[in-house]
């Protein structure tokens, strides 16, 4: 297993930052003013409890070993890539039954970039291409930047796709990071520089309607570009106002140069409609924060009966809006066992309205 590929696909585990459960507990306490405000907003925001759905570790013939990315298709099929098995799994999103598990040596630590109808776009970073997969079979490939267009070592590569476009991000120490829009033949159509410290840009790419979000594992922000930006455009910043974490003080201390490792704050985020679901890393339990288009916290979603499990490692989040207005969330985890779990959330606006009968 190539070291560069491991860093690409397992960035959240090996980039050098510490998880909430592994950081030393004698962390500093001082916060940035914006983080202090966010903490106050979070404390005033009531929490909703998620309803547990199904869970699966695969089947005896096709077990999950290292699930890395997850994404719902438009009809509710849940796709999961497994970085250790070089496989793509497809689950019935409602029932949890495994529809198929496809393994191919051409997959190199596969990473799901997007879903277009019945086509799953699978990024293979070691092979530098995106496979278009239909019913488990690659039907065509698009090359992604390689050579001197990516870091020579310890590089972090991410991709995303919407219905017509492909996007690519490359960051690494000592490398001029960037985000790019690719044509259907892999040519770079436009690129924008990510000039700050490379760790700040380590995180997934997501498409939110006509905006491209470049996420960060280490700060509650996203870099933002219009999806049709012109070459050389500057990125904007969307701050997640209301995001709270016990690691915010440690994050400040790292940025001030007082400690050597940045703590992980988020593992993933998924836009659905006018909501952005952010996977908030906590010590041993699931928390998902829901923000609006302006980055303002609207809801905090917690798993039923949270308990402390220091081995809990969620690595990605997928969200699907159902016909009745409820949301199905899927969490993939590597520890304490490889697993996918689903939950259901019914926001107030989707809850059935009860009216009293006339006397």
- DSSP labels for 68-137? EEEEE-TTSPEEEEETTTTEEEEE-TTT--EEEEEE-TT-SS-EEEEEETTEEEEEETTTTEEEEEETTE
Per-residue pLDDT at 9 exceeds 50 = no
Percent of the chain's residues with pLDDT above 70: 91
* CA dist., res. 278 & res. 289, Å (int): 5
Segment 215-245, tens digit of pLDDT: 999 999 999 999 999 998 999 999 999 999 9
Q: What is the pTM of this model?
A: 0.92
Phi-psi region of 248 (alpha: psi -120 to 50; beta: other; left: phi over 0): alpha
Domain covering 3-347: architecture: 6 Propeller (2.120)
What's the whole-number mean pLDDT along residues 276-282? 96
Supply the pLDDT for residue 359.
Answer: 46
Percent of the chain at pLDDT > 90 equals 77
Q: Are residues 205 and 212 in contact, defined by beta-carbon separation less than 8 angstroms?
A: yes
- pLDDT value of residue 16: 55
Confidence of residue 5 (pLDDT cuts 50, 70, 90): very low
How large is the average pLDDT for residues 78-84?
96
Look at the chain and count its residues.
Answer: 359
Identify the weakest region by mean pLDDT among 101-110, 226-235, 245-254: 101-110
Cα 192 → chain centroid: 21
Q: How confident is the model at residue 8 (pLDDT cuts 50, 70, 90)?
A: very low
The rounded mean pLDDT for the chain is 90
Q: What is the CA radius of gyration of the chain?
A: 20
Please list, residue by residue across 219-238, b when 16 or more beta carbons sit within 10 angstroms of its beta carbon and e when fewer do.
bbbbbebebebeeeeebeeb
Helix (H) or strand (E) holding 255: helix 248-255
Q: Which helix (H) or strand (E) holds 329?
A: strand 327-335
Confidence bin at 355 (pLDDT 50/70/90): very low
Q: What is the residue whose two structure tokens read 């962390």?
A: 27
Is pLDDT of 306 > 80?
no
**Which pair of tokens denotes residue 210?**
């006509």
DSSP 249: H
pLDDT at 108: 84
User: Average pLDDT in the 162-175 region?
Assistant: 94
Phi-psi region of 198 (alpha: psi -120 to 50; beta: other; left: phi over 0): alpha
DSSP designation for 150: S
**26-44: per-residue pLDDT in tens?**
667 899 999 999 999 999 9
153-162: average pLDDT: 92
pLDDT in the model for residue 31: 94
């Amino acid at each position: 297993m190539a070291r560069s590929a491991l860093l690409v696909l397992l960035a959240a585990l090996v980039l050098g930052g510490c998880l909430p459960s592994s950081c030393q507990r004698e962390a500093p306490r001082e916060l940035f003013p914006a983080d202090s405000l966010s903490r106050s907003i979070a404390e005033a925001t009531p929490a909703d409890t998620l309803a547990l759905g199904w869970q699966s570790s695969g089947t005896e013939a096709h077990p999950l070993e290292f699930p890395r990315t997850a994404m719902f298709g438009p009809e509710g099929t849940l796709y999961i890539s497994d970085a250790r098995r070089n496989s793509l799994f497809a689950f019935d999103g409602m029932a949890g039954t495994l529809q198929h598990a496809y393994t191919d040596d051409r997959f190199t630590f596969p990473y799901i970039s997007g879903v277009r109808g019945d086509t799953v776009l699978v990024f293979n970073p070691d092979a530098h291409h995106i496979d278009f997969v239909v019913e488990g079979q690659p039907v065509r490939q698009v090359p992604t930047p390689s050579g001197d267009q990516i870091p020579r070592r310890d590089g972090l590569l991410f991709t995303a796709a919407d219905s017509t476009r492909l996007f690519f991000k490359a960051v690494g120490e000592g490398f001029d990071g960037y985000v790019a829009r690719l044509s259907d033949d892999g040519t770079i159509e436009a690129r924008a520089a990510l000039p700050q410290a490379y760790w700040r840009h380590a995180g997934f790419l997501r498409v939110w309607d006509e905006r491209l979000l470049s996420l960060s594992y280490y700060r509650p922000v996203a870099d933002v570009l219009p999806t049709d930006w012109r070459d050389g455009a500057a990125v904007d910043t969307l701050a997640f106002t209301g995001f709270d974490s016990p690691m915010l003080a440690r994050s400040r201390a790292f940025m001030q140069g007082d400690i050597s490792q940045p703590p992980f704050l988020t593992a993933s985020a998924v836009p659905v409609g006018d909501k952005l679901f952010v996977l908030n890393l906590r010590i041993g339990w699931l928390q998902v924060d829901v923000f609006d288009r302006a980055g303002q916290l609207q809801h905090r979603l917690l798993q039923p009966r949270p308990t402390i499990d220091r081995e809990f490692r969620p690595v990605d989040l997928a969200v699907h809006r159902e016909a009745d207005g409820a949301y199905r969330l899927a969490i993939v985890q590597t520890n304490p066992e490889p697993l996918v779990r689903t939950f259901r959330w019914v926001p107030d606006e989707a809850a059935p309205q009860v009216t009293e009968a006339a006397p």
